[in-house]
Amino acid sequence: MAPAHAHVIPFVPAEGIQIGQLAKLAKVRKQTMAQSVEQLVASGYVRRGPDPSDRRASLIFLTEAGRALGPTSLVAGRKVEEGWAEVVGTEELEQVRRALIRLLGLT
């Protein structure tokens, strides 16, 4: 699973979502999210559609292939974090997470 999958797939609701909202949920920059979405559009996992509440914006929706990845992406992410926690412990892993969020300016 590519990083683009992990940044997008778990956060797209059935009713769709704007890229800016996705970026906030995934705690990444809007530019990073736009690149991830483009990769996933090209791969057929998400599609763009009009936002009925904002004619200038578009919403991101999961395709059938993207919906199939949802559970897989969550399980894979949890397994990675469990492996890291086994190496450094859950408390230290949480400290790393908080430090990265501060470094990225996401707080």
Q: Distance between alpha carbon 53 and the CA centroid of its chain, in Å?
A: 23
Q: Please tell me the CATH code under which domain 3-103 is placed.
A: 1.10.10.10
Q: How far apart are CA 2 and CA 43, in angstroms?
A: 11
Q: Tokens for 71?
A: 């559970």
Q: Which residues contact 2 (CB under 8 A, 6 or more apart)?
A: 39
Scan for tokens 């009925």, then name that residue.
52
Question: Tokens standing for 94?
Answer: 């949480």
Does the predicted model carry a pTM greater than 0.85? no
Give pLDDT tens digits for 40-97: 999 999 999 999 999 899 999 999 999 988 777 778 888 888 999 999 999 999 998 8
